[in-house]
Amino acid sequence: MEVVDAVVIGAGFAGLRALYRLRGMGKKVAVLEAGAGVGGVWYHNGYPGARCDVESYDYSYSFSPELEQEWRWTERYATQPEILNYINHVADRFDLRKDIQFNTRMAQARYDEQAARWTVAAENGQTWSSQFLVMCVGQLSTPKAPNFPGQAAFQGEVIHSGVWPKHSVDFVGKRVAIIGTGSSGMQMTPIIAKQAKHLTVFQRTANFSIPASNAPVSDEEDRQVKASYRTRREQAWNSPTGLGFKPNKQSALDVTPEEREKVYEAAWSRLGYGFALSYHDILLSMAANDTAADFIRRKIGAVINDPVVRDKLVPKGHPFAARRPSVDSGYFQAFNRDNVELADLRESPIVSFTPEGIRTTIKSHSFDTIIFATGFDAFTGSLLKPDIVGRGAITLREKWAAGPVTQLGVGVSDFPNMLIVVGPGSPSLLSNVMVSTEEQIDWLAELVRHMESNKLVEFEAEPQAEQRWVAHVNERAKETLYLSADSYYNGAEIPGKPRVFMPYSGGVRGYRRILHQCAQDGYSGFTLRDAPAASGGLNRTPEVSAA
């Protein structure tokens, strides 16, 4: 068994950042990564058209000014291969690979209450003893496996967008199906449409989307960003979403329709995902939201030629941005092509898969390739996959049977010395996740430093604090329109999953203040101990103040 200070699970953006930070503090770290390379979701989601919907310069690490200056992004929204190149560059530049064990999937972690240490076991039988367990497993990393009748009978190729094959997939001359019209389905549609002989997109819910307005980054733009990178970072850290710009303080309802139209028009052609910040109340008031949703419906409708297809593709039935909207590059226009067909699953659901393809209530389709762009078991999927066994042999699955419960999104009572990065209870997917990731890792590193300086061996979330935080997360969500739509924010993506709202909607800046206040108050809501609680000594020291 290898003895380390921290086992980090996952070598995506969060895992690498945790490794870099903890190693810099002199800690011995082992990173376990199930994939064969670094990158996490960016390693696995290699489907055509995969691209970030946060601007490249903002979707990058802020911890190294040298790294910021030397890396040259080529497009406003980076493609998956470029992001993968970036994270590989980071791994090499900071010599991170030597502490990462690839092709190693965590199977179990068991907390030893007497020793205040985790024993972590991989599927290959290897084990580690570690003081800290840092879960950097991502929120959208367990692909949702669809289960249609007769699925196994299909004789063509089946691919999931979230585990895209590493070999090149050729669609030329093929009959292709895409099931799912979230960001993944919407991004791949226009690209595959240009290659395939015929493409059928199976849509259950029409999704809102804003044009990416992607463009190459000129040398002058690159120079300007690099000359003012600190200011740009400060703006991101202090903005509600981590995207760097503040919402318009006006209400969408306090301006004339003409003024609103101008603001929406400008946002449409430039802001991408940030369109939702055009007015401060778009996600707070249904009437305000309706103005944005109506504008977007008109815009989408205007680029679709066929009135029947248009009616099906224009989103309705949920407020704009209450489910995650997409940022697309020609998705709706793809349906004007002769080789692209829309199959509306609300009107005619899938009856079964067949050896040749898919049979709906109105038609039998034949395909060479079927792509599941059906999403993920969000937020909790990858946290609940391994056996994580805490105090008194309770498992995380049991603890979260009614939905995830955390103190500030980072700690869980009965699971001492376990830290979760950008998981449920934190802004995670409601923010520029890069900003949230770095914020949380810096915070947890300071907690580790504080424990070391004060000779503390165990920290643990307090159950009452956890209950208060969950109540607060719910209160903040109730102020918004998020609860008025079925989405992966609230567990609707998996039948039978607890229906609780998981991310923290109080904003990046608000959350940052809460984390800092917690540390300043001696890690309020956490119990810090200088001997394991179970060792008989108790030695609880909640009053210890932060160093």
Minimum Å distance from CB 16 to ligand N01?
Answer: 18
Helix (H) or strand (E) run with residue 191 in it = helix 183-195
Rounded to whole angstroms, the Cα distance separating 155 from 370 reads: 10
34 touches ligand N01 by CB under 6 A: no
CB distance 17 to 437 below 8 Å: yes
Write out 525-541 in H/E/C secondary structure: CEEEECCCHHHCCCCEC
183 touches ligand N01 by CB under 6 A: yes
Minimum Å distance from CB 141 to ligand N01?
Answer: 10
> 180 or 411: whose CB is closer to ligand N01?
180
Minimum Å distance from CB 362 to ligand N01?
Answer: 16
Minimum Å distance from CB 110 to ligand N01?
Answer: 31
Positive or negative torsion for Cα 77, 79, 85, 90: positive
181 touches ligand N01 by CB under 6 A: yes
> 47 or 443: whose CB is closer to ligand N01?
47
Strand 106-112 vs strand 387-389: parallel, antiparallel, or unpaired?
A: parallel
53 touches ligand N01 by CB under 6 A: yes
Candidate ranges 32-40, 45-53, 115-123, 164-172; the one touching ligand N01 (CB under 6 A): 45-53
> 288 or 322: whose CB is closer to ligand N01?
322
User: Which of 27, 51, 175, 450: binder of ligand N01 (CB under 6 A)?
Assistant: 51
Rounded to whole angstroms, the Cα distance separating 160 from 143 reads: 8
Minimum Å distance from CB 153 to ligand N01?
Answer: 17
CA 322 to chain centre: 16
80 touches ligand N01 by CB under 6 A: no
Rounded to whole angstroms, the Cα distance separating 350 from 147 reads: 11
Size of the site for ligand N01 (CB under 6 A): 25
> 379 or 526: whose CB is closer to ligand N01?
379
> 101 or 205: whose CB is closer to ligand N01?
205
Minimum Å distance from CB 345 to ligand N01?
Answer: 5
Give the up-direction half-sphere exposure of residue 220: CA atoms within 13 A in the CB hemisphere.
0
Rounded to whole angstroms, the Cα distance separating 443 from 450 reads: 10
Q: Which residue is nearest to ligand N01 (CB)?
A: 182
User: Which of 198, 310, 324, 450: binder of ligand N01 (CB under 6 A)?
Assistant: 324
DSSP string covering 362-429: S-EEE-SEEEE---B-TTTHHHHSSEEE-GGG-BHHHHTTTS---BTTTBBTTBTTEEESS-TTSSGG
> 128 or 376: whose CB is closer to ligand N01?
376
Candidate ranges 6-14, 90-98, 183-191, 232-240; the one touching ligand N01 (CB under 6 A): 183-191
Rounded to whole angstroms, the Cα distance separating 59 from 62 reads: 9
Candidate ranges 182-190, 256-264, 305-313, 363-371; the one touching ligand N01 (CB under 6 A): 182-190
CA 285 to chain centre: 25
52 touches ligand N01 by CB under 6 A: yes
> 217 or 345: whose CB is closer to ligand N01?
345
Other CB atoms within a 10 A radius of the CB of residue 129 amount to: 15
Minimum Å distance from CB 330 to ligand N01?
Answer: 14
Minimum Å distance from CB 212 to ligand N01?
Answer: 9
User: Which of 61, 377, 493, 511: binder of ligand N01 (CB under 6 A)?
Assistant: 493
Let me know if 308 is exposed, middle or buried by CB neighbors in 10 A (0-12, 13-18, 19+).
Answer: exposed
55 touches ligand N01 by CB under 6 A: no
Using the CB atoms, write b or e for 459-494: b if 16+ within 10 Å.
bbbbeebbeebbeebeebbeebbbbebbbbbbbebb
184 touches ligand N01 by CB under 6 A: yes
User: Which of 141, 161, 417, 527: binder of ligand N01 (CB under 6 A)?
Assistant: 161
Minimum Å distance from CB 106 to ligand N01?
Answer: 22
Minimum Å distance from CB 83 to ligand N01?
Answer: 9
- Contacts with ligand N01, 374-413, as mask; x by CB under 6 A: xxx-------------------------------------
Give the footprint of ligand N01 on residues 416-445 (CB under 6 A). 429
204 touches ligand N01 by CB under 6 A: yes
- DSSP secondary structure letter of residue 246: P
Per the document, the length of the chain is 547
Q: How far apart are the first and last CA of the chain?
A: 33
User: Which of 205, 214, 235, 250: binder of ligand N01 (CB under 6 A)?
Assistant: 205
Token pair listed for 310: 């248009």
Candidate ranges 12-20, 81-89, 181-189, 362-370; the one touching ligand N01 (CB under 6 A): 181-189
Q: Which of 262, 6, 288 is nearest to 129 (CA)?
A: 6
Cβ contacts of residue 295 below 8 Å, gap of 6+? 260, 261, 264, 268
Candidate ranges 176-184, 262-270, 331-339, 517-525; the one touching ligand N01 (CB under 6 A): 176-184
CB distance 383 to 403 below 8 Å: no
Rounded to whole angstroms, the Cα distance separating 236 from 57 reads: 11
Minimum Å distance from CB 482 to ligand N01?
Answer: 13
User: Which of 193, 277, 373, 502: binder of ligand N01 (CB under 6 A)?
Assistant: 373
> 100 or 370: whose CB is closer to ligand N01?
370
182 touches ligand N01 by CB under 6 A: yes
Token pair listed for 333: 């226009």
Binding site for ligand N01 (CB under 6 A): 51-53, 140, 146, 161, 179-185, 187, 204-205, 324, 345, 373-376, 429, 488, 493
